[in-house]
Each structure stands twice: as C-alpha cells, then as structure tokens.
Amino acid sequence: MSLPDARTQAAIATNRFGIGARPGEIAEASGDPRGWLLRQVAAGPSPIPGGARLPTSAEAIARADAQARLDEARARARETKAEPTAMAKAPAAPRYDIYTEEVAARGRSALETDRPFPERLVWFWSNHFSVSVDKAAVRAVAGAMEREAIRPHVLGRFEDMLLAVIHHPAMIFYLDNQLSLGPASPRGEASRRGLNENLGREVMELHTVGVSAGYTQADVTTFAKALTGWTVDRREDAGRRFGTFLFSPDMHEPGPKTIMGRTYPQEGEDQAVAVLQDLARHPATARHIAGKLARHFIADRPPEAAVDALAHTFLDTGGDLTAVARRLVALDVAWSESPDKLKSPNEYIVSAMRGLGVETEEAVIMLRSVSMLGQRPFAAPSPAGWPDTAQDWAAPSAVYQRLEWAARVGQQVGPGLRQPGSLVGEMLGGQARPTLADAVDRAASGAQAVALLLASPEFQWR
C-alpha cells in the first residue's frame, strides 16, 4: 500500500501511536516518524512526575486500613454514647485521598511526557488488566498497580507483567481471591466459605488465552483451586510485610491439577505460577493479545494479516513486548491516512490539553471532565475494561457532551491564544482538511476557534 506524506505520517505517529501532538511535536517527528516512535520504545515510559512521593501499594493498604479502623471506632462511640477511646477522640485530620493523588499523577505523566507511545502502551495494558475503584478495597491501590505491575513491564516480557499483576493486591482484591479457599484445604474444611473462581476465570478469558481457546469450565475451576492461597498479608504481626502479597498454605487446595490437558504437580505458590507461565506462552494468548493491539492501534476491525504478524512476533520472541511494539510500528497498514479509531474520552481530553499547551496543573484540573464524559479513571464497568470500538463511544448523547465540552474549553483557553489558526497544523498536521484550517482561521474569536477544532471529526478520530 502507498503511504501518506511525511507530515501526515508524523501526525499519525503523534495521535494514533501517541496520545496527542504537543506544540512542535509533529515537526519533530516529520523527519522520521517511525524512527521517532522506535526511539521512544528503546527509552521506555517516562518517569511519573512526583511518582516517588506516591505510596506503595503496601503503604496505601496500611493507610486505608488505619483510616477504616478510626472511622469504625468513632462510629461505635457515637452509637453507644460510651466514652470514646483516645483514637476515636483524635481530631479528624483531612483525609488523604490516595485515589485522587494517583489520578493527578497519571494525568501529569500523560501531559508532560515526551515518550507518548510508551505512555499509550501503559494505558492499553492497564485497561487489559482492568481493576475498578468502585470496589472499595481497590480504591487505594488501583494506581499503585499501574505503577508497580504494569508500567515497568510494558516493553518487557508479557509473562513478567502477567505474574506481577496477578500477584498484586489490587487484582487480588478486585477479583476476591483473598476470599477463595480450597475445599480440601485446612481452612476450607473448617469454613463455610469456599472456592471463588473470579480470578481464574478472568485470567483465562480476558488476560491470556481468551474465550476461543477451547478451555472448559472444569479448567477454570481447577485453575481457581491452583490460585487458592494467593492473598494479601493483613496479619497484625505482619510488620513490614503488611499489605504485600502472601501465599497462605492453609488456604491452598492440595494436590496436582490438570488444566487444558497439562498436569501441574508443583506445590504451593509454584503451582499457579507454572500455570500462568504456560498461559502466557500459549499460541491462543498470542492471538488474543495481537487482536487487541491491532484493534487499538489500527481499526475496530483490523486486517487479519496485521493480527497474524503481531501474533507471530509475540510467539517467536516469547512474548517480548518491545519486539511486538516494533513490529506494530513496521506494519504499513497501521499508517493508513484514514483515521479509523474514535478517541475514547480520556484520549480526547488528554490530546486536547497537550495540543493546546495548557499549563500542567490547570490541565490536571480540567482532566476531571473525563468522568463527565463517561470514563472515570480506574473505574471500567467490568473486568473486561473500557470498550475499544467507536460504537461504544459514539452514542448521540456522548457526542453532544463532547461538543459541549469543546465549547467550554474554548471559552477557558481560547481568549489567551495569540494565533489560534496555527493550532490546526500543530495538532493535526497533514490530517486536517483545508476546510477545517480555513474555518478555524476565520473564527470570530479564539474561543470559537478552539471549539471548532476540538469538535471536528479530524480531531476526534485518530
């Protein structure tokens, strides 16, 4: 297939592979758009601004538990009208909302990064391994999971990312594995509570081989048994281990397990690790991951040849995600001049803030609008994550909300712009129609110019 000119390829690199062109970025990429992306792959994701100040997942769990105990003591004192304990009498300090801090840090990272392709890959994999803060136990650790288990591995090995995620407290809490007891385990035999299959099911259905792999319900149940004992250490005497992953032998279903035709004789934690390693290397996993990547970066219905190419690279390299990213950049079909992906609300707002050059802290505040547009951070409606096709984001009400948002941003940002007509070239490069550039240039005000640009099909699609 014939490729578009270099300026259009640069716009594709910044918007389709990246997360929206900042001023000067299309010009920077136009000399070698593919090379611009590959240099980012070699460098990896940017450090999160202020990330060192964010709590680890263990620290976040400890803080959340301490706050819960304090709330409970105060509530008990109110109910009984008894003399409150010293803890309950302590003055109420302003709550430290870890979730809010994590969302703000994530926003700063997206707004400031000069490596937008790896940042988009962080978004992709975080959505692939989706957890939701709508479950109370997850609220404090959802952001930490992205920082600790996903970001370090987006250009590493898929197997390593999978193991990091499934060991993480956020995933364990989200899918209730801390409640899962092997029926024949010491605690299972002494308890009315039994096996919870959530984690085993979602790992197979969503995270690895996918529903077309031919596994059975018996495989799911057996895998769930292999995962029993994978929990989070919240023992009073845990010390520095409090809030970290814990394998609890007295919760684990003993004995060998047979899953998808393979028997696992390992004992303890090693058993589920061996299953996860095999699932990570399975041909069906390669196909499942390749299909999702092609859908995200190329089109809602990607060409089979593109899926085949990515799947083969995944398999041939043992799930090397750097090699997969490089193969994606090399696919000519990914550089189609026609934008075939409608931006999700998060993509839409981040790309607008980057393109308009809004100062970071002001932009972080404006990013809160993503919830109004239907994509609250770390709050996907199911373990399948946020949807990734146009039909899921293009309902008439959703389109109308975007137009309203574009008008509001125009009113906030437009009056301060000296040359609003230059925005079209800076944000869309060769992907903008001459009629759009002309309309923005002739706009009656900066506010109207910004609103026209952000409401245009060229800007809303990538």
Q: List Cβ neighbours of 85 (8 Å cut-off, separation of 6 or more).
A: 73, 77
Supply the pLDDT for residue 90.
Answer: 54
R_g (Cα) of the chain, nearest Å: 24
**CA dihedral angle for residue 9, residue 15, residue 19, residue 21, rounded to 10 degrees:** 80
> What is the per-residue pLDDT for 418?
83
d(CA 289, CA 207): 8
Q: What is the Cα–Cα distance from 177 to 252, expressed in whole angstroms?
A: 11
Residue matched to tokens 């301060």: 416
Q: Look up residue 19 and give its two tokens.
A: 């997360």
The set of residues, in sequence order, having a beta carbon less than 8 Å from that of 78 and lying 6+ positions away, is: none
The amino acid occupying position 274 is: A
Measured CA to CA, the distance from residue 49 to residue 174 in angstroms comes to 27
**Which residues, in sequence order, are CB contacts of 196 under 8 Å at separation 6+?**
175, 176, 177, 179, 180, 224
| Unique residue bearing structure tokens 């594709």 | 12
| Look-up of token digits 């240039």 | 441
The rounded distance, in Å, linking the Cα atoms of 357 and 446 is 14
Do the Cβ atoms of 164 and 148 come closer than 8 Å? yes
Residue type, 313: T
What's 309-373 look like in SS3? HHHHHHHHCCCEHHHHHHHHHHCHHHHCCCCCCECCHHHHHHHHHHHHCCCHHHHHHHCCHHHHC
DSSP state of 206: I
Residue-range domain boundaries for the chain: 345-460
For 207, residues 6+ apart whose C-beta sits below 8 A from its C-beta are 128, 129, 162, 165
* Contacting residues for 143 by C-beta, under 8 A, at least 6 apart: 54, 98, 99, 101, 102, 103, 105, 106, 378
Q: How far apart are CA 230 and CA 236, in angstroms?
A: 18
Run of H or E including 247: strand 245-247
Contacts of 313 (CB under 8 A, 6+ apart): 320, 323, 324, 327
Tell me how far the alpha carbon of residue 102 is from its chain's centroid: 13
State residue 182 phi and psi, 5-degree precision: -65, 130
Instruction: Please list the pLDDT of the chain residue by residue as tens digits (462 residues).
Output: 789 999 999 999 999 999 999 999 999 999 999 999 999 999 999 999 999 999 999 999 999 998 888 888 877 877 877 666 665 555 444 455 899 999 999 999 999 999 999 999 999 999 999 999 999 999 999 999 999 999 999 999 999 999 999 999 999 999 999 999 999 999 999 998 899 999 999 999 999 999 999 999 999 999 999 999 999 999 999 999 999 999 999 999 999 999 999 999 999 999 999 999 999 999 999 999 999 999 999 999 999 999 999 999 999 999 999 999 999 999 999 999 999 999 999 999 999 999 999 999 999 999 999 999 999 999 999 999 999 999 999 999 999 999 999 999 999 999 988 888 899 999 999 999 999 999 999 999 999 999 999 999 999 999
- Span 418-462, pLDDT tens digits: 888 899 999 999 999 999 999 999 999 999 999 999 999 999 999
Report which residue type is found at 298.
Answer: I
For 124-192, give the DSSP string.
HHHHHT--BTTSGGGTTTHHHHIIIIIGGGTTSBHHHHHHHHHHSHHHHHHTTGGG---TTSHHHHH-S
Tokens of 213: 């792999």
pLDDT at 93: 47
